[in-house]
Structure 1
Amino acid sequence: MEGILFGVIFYCCVFVSFAYDEELIAKGELRKACSKHGNAIPPARRINSTLRLIELRQLMDSEVRLGTHPVDAYLVTSSDEHQSVEVDEYDRRREYISGFSGSYGDAIITRDKAVLWTDGRYHLQADEQIDCNWLLMREGHKNIPTRSQWLKEQFPNGTRLGVNPKLISEYMWKGIKHELAGAKIHLIALNVSLIDEIWPKEQRPRKRTKDAFILDIKYAGKNYTSKLEEVRMLVQQAGADAMVVTSLDEIAWLLNIRGRDIPYSPFLRSYLILDMDNVFLYVNPKQLQQNDVLRYLHAQSGLRHYDTVQIRNYSEIWADLRTKSQLYNKILIPAHCVYSEGASHAIYEHIFPDKRLPYQSPIIYLKSVKNQMEIEGMKRAHVKDGAAMCDFLAYIETQMAKGRIFTEVDLANILDDFRYEQLESLGNSFRTIVGFAGNGAQPHYTPTKNTNAVIFDNATVVIESGAQYYEGTTSVTRSVHYGEPDVLMKEAYTRVLLGQIVFSTLTFPNNMKIAEADILARSSLWEIGLDYLHESGHGVGSFSGVKESPIAIQYDLEVSTKQTFKAGYFFTIEPGYYKEGYFGVRLQNIFEVVEKPWLAHTSGHKYLGFKTLTLVPYQQKLMAMELLSTPQRKWLNRYNEEIRQEVGAELKRQGKMDGFYWMMENTKYIPENKSCRISLVGTTLLFIFSCLNLTL
């Protein structure tokens, strides 16, 4: 009786504790090492933001510096002027004020509070990086208020919310304004960037201004003249006679030029205005003086043609929008599309209201469907990338067997070096992720000097990396173990692997919504009540952004319920499992959407399927083989055989024999029929049939 009573009391306490934690999460108050009682040691990578917040609040009160009345709250986004997914270190204003270095998140600072919103990829990272001045809103949990809801709770009598109009998309501006309607909370576009004002010049990284270069037609597959014609036709069909292009990846694709102004993405900081007869490129002209870029764009020609690109200074875009837009009946302004935020509020405000035509950029849909040269280039890039990964993994395994000790940063740096060795590689497509044990349980963890863990043989290591090749963009994730994984690690790994296998084998009509496919990536985890708080995949560019619209794969994401796959799309599938403080598992491949013309749909729809481009072995000792059916084992053997043929030939060609022999060992044949085990229990002989579809 006492035991039952103790159990009831125990579970009641657990329930109450859980409910209390949920309440704290909803308020943003559940923070690591921020209790008012006791003196817990703060995480090593936590940034002290106290003085920065004091300076910012002083500016919020200064009518002289603001040029308007004081503001009671200030919104800091993650964006640059072009609403890029990845931004230059110079533009990381939200990181400066908060200390949080993830790629996604917004901050609101009031006179007495500071709040950060971010999604499931960064909950653990943000909790460790932002100090106790901050509340943390973990998006994805229930009852988390939106930015507007939180403001209305804090300011029931109204307030003024300031923001830099160049650093917020019109989509976000209108969304917040709509949610604040009737709340007497006024959204104020400030002419001064408050973070720029308090960020010391000697501490702020320099703005990147490297030379632009041309992407050869053998990689681009189509010259920029024909691309201009396609875009002009679509602009006209939309009802406009001009378009302003603000997204850097769209300008790079349209003109077949690349740059190095954004970390890991080959883009040139620029704006572009396109009408039916003219092209105006707003850029730092010094960045075009090398590599024959001006000649290629016909910018120095005495005669002006419809494909002549006229060069303007970067800052002239603001004056030209006022004057040139008067010449047009309608000017298409990019609207929000999945990862593409669209044009900034400042861009909209510089165009007369009756001239505006908000519309999703047609360039997004043109560049997302790769042409034949881009498709072949992506395949070559992934073969080279597979060779680099196999060579790297072989080297680390050999060195660890000899007793060498590595840290997370060591592995990241060594992998980056292996990739740089590949021909036509321009470096990473994103910052390499290496997370050991509990660090690997943070989906987008990147090691720093304060968190840099030593790699031991008692947990998994999550390694996510990618490269930019002239032929294409790669991204791959593998989880490895340098000792003997436990049962939980093997089951987690196998169920994540099953998500990739099941997804890759899907054949479907071309009217199926993307969200429906996500179920396959998660189903094996759902079977035992597990999940992950991030999307299962996203679009990938060709020598462009590693995260490209319009593809977002997530079953409960609204845009995923409206989008469909198209032949020529490239995208990632990256299921994972994360046990906080213990270990993480994530596996990521890039897929191509291919048509299956030999199949006919009774309704007239075409059938599509997927081809796996990533060619890097899975670690067999992390597989719980009893969970794999015969068809799934056959899939693995076919995949391993393709790695042997494609990557094996590349490793031999490069003379990387250590990588070759490692690859051969890690793609060895997997028995396709489950073995039948015999065991003795007492005096009874039991035949335990674990073969597929055989039961007693």
Structure 2
Amino acid sequence: MKMILTARLSLITVFVACLLGNSSARNIRDVNGVALDFNGAPRSKCPASAHEGNQPADRVDTSLKLRQLRSEMVRVTSVQGPPLDGYIVTSDDAHQSETVAPRDARREFITGFFGSFGEAVITLDKAVFWTDGRYHIQADQQLSCDWTLMKLGNENVATLSEWLAHEFGSDSKETRIGADPTLIPAFVWENWQYDLLNTSVKLVAVRNNLIDTIWQVGRPPYNANPAFVLEDEYAGRPWQEKIQSVRREMEVAGADALVVTALDEIAWLFNIRGYDIPDTPVLRSYALVALGSIHLYVPERKLRKSFHVHLKTYDCFHADCVRIHNYTSIWHDLRTMAQVWDTVWLPAPCGYSRGASREIYASIPAMRRLVRPSPIIDMRAVKNPIEIHGMEQAHIRDAVAMCDFLAYTEDQIMLGTQGWDELQIARFANEVRYEQNNTMGISFPTIVGYGPHAALPHYEPANTTSIIVGTESTLVIDSGGQYKDGTTDVTRTLHYGEPTMEQKTAYTRVLIGSIQLASLIFPANLRTDQLDAFARQPLWAAGLDYQHGTGHGVGHFLSVHESPISVSYDTSGTSDMECSAVRLQPGFFLSNEPGYYKEGEFGVRLENVLKVVEFNNTGSSGERKFLKFEDVTLVPYEPKLIDLELLVPSHRRWLNAYNERIRKVIGAELKTQRRIKGYNWMMSKTRRIPEGRSGSSSSALPHYSFLITLTVYYVFLDRTDPWKLCS
């Protein structure tokens, strides 16, 4: 009932805001007069002089690099213009990839922070870094005391552009802030320009990247391994059919050409894969798809003869063959070809796809730009029947590897074998996957965190931070594999001793959230942001939450984070409103990963990959389409961490059915591969539990599914979107 009352109060708040005007409604900070935080969060072990010799093990001293960068900022030959007052470094490469090649890790080089997201501003006397809730603790540990840390997601934290306006807004002279336009997404650049429009701050395009200028020693080269062809038996569709589908979308949109800059889109479109991004099988390239020609820009040394045969590049003169060009020729050809094209489709941001760079946009005259999310995103998200079958088979083999790995790891920990720290467990997890058919490596760096490290959602063990795994706290293992027929992503939380009641309660609440989302049957017009509440409700009921999304799309032998799917109720920070809340379709694959993190003590996360399927609603007239989920991840949970008193009968039935599938499907494969240790471990973790309530414990979680559904229906569905009442 409290949730419904809260929803009604939210509606009342919006109505009042509507009376005050739209702009006031959306800018609560102005209404409440709350001052923004420009000074950043308190830093642990800072200043360094007061904690000499007692700094975090993975903290990186970047003071010398900052001095070198500041020297370049005022050097006219480096800037190729007047000196700069500041320089922006983001996490991007030239293709706006979520994960970048080691050679392109410029933000990591200058900050020492190696998480996947962050933005830095370096002025002549300050260094400021922004990151989101996944990395608040990690960034505090890794950034030296030279840096001010801005924790995005916390209340009233100034954004990068707000900080610049505040820092230099009172200056009478023009302030020049430089950035590399080949790396910055166009929408980010435009947002910064808009925010700084009435200030003295000018955003300056510096094409001579200043990080590259100072990063001369120890910079790794690009991967030299050649690209390879993904056969149709795995891809499910020939690339020519995909090109035809893209051209149909172009004709509907009235576009003469489509610029493709995202590496995973190019890999999917042409049925090719590569080694240019760690753990993501893509090839560094650009593509131009016109109605009468196809152009691929790639380093020539990356191509084998089979690649040319596959794309029909030899004697290529017609519309359905691919013309190969040098990678850097894209900049000349864009400006040249745009003179004969009336409309050029440029990719806008969508989910994990950040759209094209500012430099790509600047290469096309504004009157000829058609700015929309790439049509490839939606095509790729709906897996074809062969891809669906491949994903299912990949997850079966991956579950076999996980059961074998977890069984052996548990034995070593319980026996007290020396050397079994976080790093050793991560290495072993990676090795076991290589024993499976069609394996192509891991899908992301393996996360293994014990005790306080388990409270860091994206902690990666290193030589300087790895600790021995003991029996007092939880161990979070988040790992995945790349197979030629699919991509996997699974997280399990273990305990090798006797868990505390607090640990069991946290684990069980997270498990219940996962079950509630996985067992959901829902109308097809429900948005992904609305799904989030079902996974979070057991934690919300205790006043708890987690600062990351509940789910993301998963690719087919591609990116483990795939657009457009994102399951998160908080879309306030997204500018891609077209993709921030999508409607699911049969053939989508997405993760389900609620968690709980108690800083400095322990963490819990459970992650399965779900497949979206149609629900055969035989009990109704069939006027409305319904969907449901099927778990393709089949790895046991940890029984000793489950408080059965918190499970209602529906949760118990789901868990028993899930364990029965594991015993039937994974058990058979474990026996086929003669992995007896893994088989015995799996059987011990999937024992049936009573489906009736064993007692009337006052601590049992009430079943709020009906109330959540009612709240979602009244507050979130499109036809009752409260913000639309203002228009």
Q: TM-score, normalised by structure 1?
A: 0.92
Deviation at 1:566, TM superposition (A): 1.2
1: distance between equivalents of 2:597 and 2:206?
41
Aligned pairs for 1:251-650 (under 5 A) are 251-290=266-305, 292-300=306-314, 302=315, 304-405=317-418, 406-558=420-572, 559=577, 562-599=581-618, 604-650=623-669
1:121 and 2:140 are equivalent in the alignment: no
Maintained 8 Å contact 1:169/1:341: yes
Query: Compared with structure 1, are the counterparts of its residues 83 and 601 closer, same or farther at alpha carbon in structure 2 (3 Å cutoff)?
Result: farther
Contact 1:673 1:692 in 2 (8 A): no
SS at match of 2:566: strand
Deviation at 1:179, TM superposition (A): 0.9
3-state secondary structure, aligned to 1:493: helix
Query: What is residue 225 of structure 1 aligned with on the other side?
Result: 240
Kept after mapping to 1: 8 A contact 2:448/2:454: yes
Looking at structure 1, the residues matched to 195 and 699 of structure 2 have their Cα atoms a distance apart, in angstroms, of 57
Give how far 1:306 is off.
2.2
For residue 387 of structure 2, give the secondary structure of its aligned residue in structure 1.
Answer: helix
| Contact 1:601 1:607 (8 Å CA) reproduced | no
Q: Counterpart in 2 of 1:62?
A: 75
Whether 1:110 aligns to 2:126 is no
Q: For 1:551-606, what per-residue CA distance to the aligned partner results, in whole angstroms no more than 9, with x for missing partners?
A: 11111215576421111111111111101110010000100111114358779431
Match of 2:11 in 1: none
Query: For the Cα contact (< 8 Å) 1:675–1:691, is it kept in 2?
Result: no
Partner of 1:34: 46
CA distance in 1, matches of 2:259, 2:55: 47
Provide the C-alpha distance between the structure 1 equivalents of 2:413 and 2:555, rounded to a whole number of angstroms: 35
Q: CA deviation at 1:91?
A: 0.3
User: Which of the residues 169, 187, 192 maps onto 1:176?
Assistant: 192
Letter in 2 for 1:33: K
Q: Aligned pair in 2 of structure 1 residues 507, 38: CA closer, same or farther (>3 Å)? A: same
Q: CA deviation at 1:635?
A: 0.5
The verdict on how the C-alpha distance between 1:661 and 1:335 changes in structure 2, with shifts beyond 3 A counting, is same
Q: 1:656 pairs with 666, 675, 683, which one?
A: 675
Displacement of 1:195 after TM fit?
A: 0.2
2:103 to 86, 90, 93: 90
Are 1:185 and 2:201 an aligned pair? yes
Aligned length: 660
1:355 deviation in Å?
Answer: 1.9
Cα distance in structure 1, aligned partners of 2:79 and 2:45: 36
Distance in 2, matches of 1:588 and 1:240, equals 40
Matched with 1:19 is none
Q: 1:364 to 1:690 in 2, by over 3 A?
A: closer
- Residues of 1 paired with 2:468 and 2:674: CA distance? 31
Mapped to 1, the partners of 2:293 and 2:85 lie a distance apart of: 44
C-alpha contact 2:492 2:605 (8 A) present in aligned 1: yes
Q: Given residue 370 of structure 1, which amino acid in structure 2 is its aligned partner?
A: K
Task: Give the TM-score taking structure 2 as reference length.
Answer: 0.88
Amino acid at match of 1:565: L
CA distance in 2, matches of 1:324, 1:205: 34
Q: Distance in 1 between matches of 2:446 and 2:700?
A: 40
SS at match of 1:451: coil
Q: 1-side partners of 2:372 and 2:37: how far apart?
A: 37
Q: Is the 8 A contact 1:218 1:373 kept in 2?
A: yes
Equivalent residue runs for 1:4-23 within 5 Å:
none
The structural deviation recorded for 1:692 is 11
Q: In structure 1, how many angstroms separate the alpha carbons of the residues matched to 2:35 and 2:499?
A: 36
Cα separation, 2, equivalents of 1:585 and 1:165: 40
CA, structure 1 residues 58+627, in 2 after alignment: closer, same or farther (shift >3 Å)?
A: same
* Pairing 1:139–2:152 present: yes
Instruction: Rate the CA distance shift 1:144–1:425 in 2: closer, same or farther, 3 A.
Output: same
Q: Aligned residue for 1:10?
A: none
| 8 Å Cα contact 1:420/1:427 also seen in 2 | yes
Instruction: Tell me the C-alpha RMSD between the 2 structures.
Output: 1.9
Structure-2 residue corresponding to 1:163: 179
Q: Which amino acid aligns with 1:400?
A: I
TM-aligned CA distance change 1:645 to 1:23, over 3 Å: farther
Per-residue deviation, 1:400: 2.2
Q: Indicate if the aligned counterparts of 2:99 and 2:277 stay in contact, CA closer than 8 A.
A: yes
C-alpha distance in 2 between matches for 1:176 and 1:236: 33
Do structure 1's residue 239 and structure 2's residue 254 form an aligned pair?
yes
Equivalent pair of 1:212/1:268 in contact (CA under 8 Å): yes
Name the SS of the counterpart of 2:486 in structure 1: coil
C-alpha separation between the residues in 2 aligned to 1:25 and 1:191?
Answer: 32
Q: Deviations over 1:419-468 (max 9, x none)?
A: 11111111110000000000110010001111101100000000000011
* Cα contact 1:391–1:658 (8 A) shared by 2: yes
Q: 1: CA distance between counterparts of 2:150 and 2:85?
A: 20
Q: CA deviation at 1:675?
A: 2.5
Amino acid at match of 1:169: P
Q: Which runs of 5+ in 2 are unaligned?
A: 1-33, 703-727
The CA distance in 2 between the partners of 1:164 and 1:178, in whole Å, is 18
Aligned equivalents of 2:416 and 2:138: distance in 1? Answer: 31
CA distance in 2, matches of 1:267, 1:566: 26
Q: Which portions of structure 1, spanning 4 or more consecutive aligned residues, are displaced by more than 6 angstroms?
A: 22-25, 600-603, 688-693
Match of 2:705 in 1: none
**Larger CA deviation: 353-362 vs 464-473:** 353-362
What are the superposed Cα offsets for residues 103-156 of structure 1, whole Å, 9 maximum, x if unpaired?
A: 011100001110110000001110010100000010110010010100011001
1:150 and 2:166 aligned: no
How far apart are the structure 2 equivalents of 1:691 and 1:142? 32
- Helix, strand or coil for the counterpart of 1:121? helix
| Partner of residue 12, structure 1 | none
CA–CA distance in 1 between the matches of 2:92 and 2:623? 43
Identity, in percent, stands at 46
- Secondary structure of the residue aligned to 1:58 is helix
CA contact under 8 A between 2:490 and 2:608: conserved in structure 1? yes
CA distance in 2, matches of 1:166, 1:603: 51
Give the counterpart letter for 1:206 in structure 2: P
Letter in 2 for 1:170: A
CA contact (8 A) 2:489 2:608 kept: yes
| Displacement of 1:691 | 10
Q: Is the 1:538–1:553 Cα contact (8 Å) retained in structure 2?
A: yes
Give the secondary-structure state (helix, strand or coil) at the position aligned to 2:182. helix
